[in-house]
């Protein structure tokens, strides 16, 4: 049965019986807890007394045997004096009903009790090796520090909605057999990311199966593929949906256009606005009056995709009717792809030329 020995015994205060001091022997429950939770070390708890011959023999062997020295470094070792009140309570916590000493216990870093018996193990080297191997991976102090640092980074990235950054840090870690708190926390984060990605991919798959195809979902698929690029496992899930979608030749063109759109977005983010605008305008030229063109036009903002005329646009007392008509066309295209900016351009249509036919139609669409 799993017991949280660190918290249940810590309040007692621990009196150590007088054994030879060991470099790997902790002085109290706080140190025991720290080594277990931070590094994933199993706990070796020895309950004994000065008057116990076998206790002294065990202590002497641990202190002097060259074979046991490196093995002890993989355990957090705590010694309890059986002549103190601590032992009476510890026996109940450890669910120990034996009577002999030394009483020896092994606890995995997560509190799981692996061994409990009276008497000195006859083969200490084999005993320690066997339970070290059953206790999972033990972290170095450097690994524990790096894990703690990366968990903090991931938390910050997820708050900023930077899933790609979180994936890049979290997914390479593999601590399935480690019971240190940071390791289990990282595995939980990986599991949550996997669930998040899997759920998103399933939603995209449903959108892509619609007729007509939602181009915004195609863009999202290509973008999500980029997000998962640093994880082979997650990338394979996205590619599976992409391969199914691209089985139709028409969809291959949509994927290519989505890639171009995102490439232009990156150029715009890198302040290469001229290069980005050229790609947007090319997409509008290739596929006018489509959702592809609508998204490209939206990114261009209020700029017209065709060269400006030398003459001034027609003006009336009620505003620029041509500009209002252009706003309305863009708004309709945005409505087709369910863009949240559609209403913004409908309102711009009305504001630009309130008495125009375009404004009248825009009012109907806004209702």
- The tokens describing 339, both together, are 């863009």
Pairing outcome for strands 43-48 and 103-107: antiparallel
pLDDT band of 24, cuts 50, 70, 90: low
Q: Which residues 6+ apart lie within 8 Å of 214 measured at CB?
A: 207, 208, 291, 337, 338
pLDDT tens-digit readout, 134-183: 999 999 999 999 999 999 999 999 999 999 999 999 999 998 899 999 99
- Round the average pLDDT of the chain to a whole number and report it: 85
pLDDT tens-digit readout, 244-302: 999 999 899 999 999 999 999 999 999 998 999 999 999 999 888 888 888 888 888 74
Q: Which residues 6+ apart lie within 8 Å of 178 measured at CB?
A: 40, 136, 137, 138, 139, 184
DSSP code at position 25: B
pLDDT band of 332, cuts 50, 70, 90: confident
- The tokens describing 109, both together, are 């870093």
Above 80 in pLDDT, residue 13? no
pLDDT tens-digit readout, 78-92: 999 999 988 888 888
Q: Report pLDDT for 155.
A: 93
Q: How far apart are CA 254 and CA 259, in angstroms?
A: 9
Above 90 in pLDDT, residue 15? no
Residue 363 burial class via C-beta count within 10 angstroms: exposed 0-12, middle 13-18, buried 19 and up: middle
Q: Which domains are assigned to the chain?
A: 5-138 (3.40.30.10), 321-366 (no CATH)
Q: Report pLDDT for 355.
A: 86
Closest alpha carbon to 30 in 48, 50, 54, 14:
14
Q: Report pLDDT for 367.
A: 67
Q: How far apart are CA 21 and CA 221, in angstroms?
A: 61
């Amino acid at each position: 049965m799993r017991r949280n020995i660190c918290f249940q015994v810590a309040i007692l205060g621990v009196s150590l019986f007088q054994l030879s001091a060991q470099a790997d022997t902790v002085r109290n429950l706080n140190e025991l807890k720290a080594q277990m939770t931070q590094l994933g070390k199993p706990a070796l708890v020895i309950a004994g007394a000065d008057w116990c011959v076998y206790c002294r023999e065990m202590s002497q062997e641990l202190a002097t045997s060259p074979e046991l020295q490196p093995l002890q470094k993989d355990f957090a070792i705590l010694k309890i004096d059986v002549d103190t009140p601590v032992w009476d309570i510890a026996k109940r916590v450890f669910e120990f009903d034996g009577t002999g000493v030394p009483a020896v216990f092994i606890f995995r870093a997560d509190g799981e009790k692996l061994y409990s018996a009276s008497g000195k193990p006859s083969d200490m080297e084999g005993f320690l090796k066997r339970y070290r191997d059953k206790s999972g991976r033990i972290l170095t102090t450097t690994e524990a520090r790096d894990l703690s640092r990366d968990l903090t980074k991931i938390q910050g990235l997820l708050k900023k909605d930077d899933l790609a950054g979180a994936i890049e840090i979290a997914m390479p870690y593999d601590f399935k057999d480690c019971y240190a708190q940071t390791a289990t926390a990282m595995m939980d984060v990986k599991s949550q990311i996997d669930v998040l990605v899997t759920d998103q991919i399933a939603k995209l798959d449903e959108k892509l199966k619609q007729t007509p195809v939602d181009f915004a979902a195609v863009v999202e698929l290509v973008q999500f593929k980029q997000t998962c690029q640093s994880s082979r496992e997650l990338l394979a899930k996205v590619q599976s949906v992409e391969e199914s979608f691209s089985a139709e030749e028409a969809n291959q063109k949509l994927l290519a256009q989505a890639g171009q759109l995102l490439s232009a977005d990156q150029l715009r983010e890198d302040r290469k606005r001229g290069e980005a605008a050229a790609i947007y305008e090319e997409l509008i030229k290739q596929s006018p009056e489509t959702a592809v063109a609508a998204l490209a036009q939206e990114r261009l903002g209020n700029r017209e995709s065709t060269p400006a005329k030398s003459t001034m646009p027609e003006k009336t007392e009620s505003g620029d009717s041509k500009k209002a008509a252009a706003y309305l066309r863009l708004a309709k295209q945005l409505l087709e792809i369910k863009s949240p900016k559609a209403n913004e351009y409908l309102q711009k249509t009305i504001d630009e030329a309130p008495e125009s036919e375009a404004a009248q139609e825009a009012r109907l669409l806004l209702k």
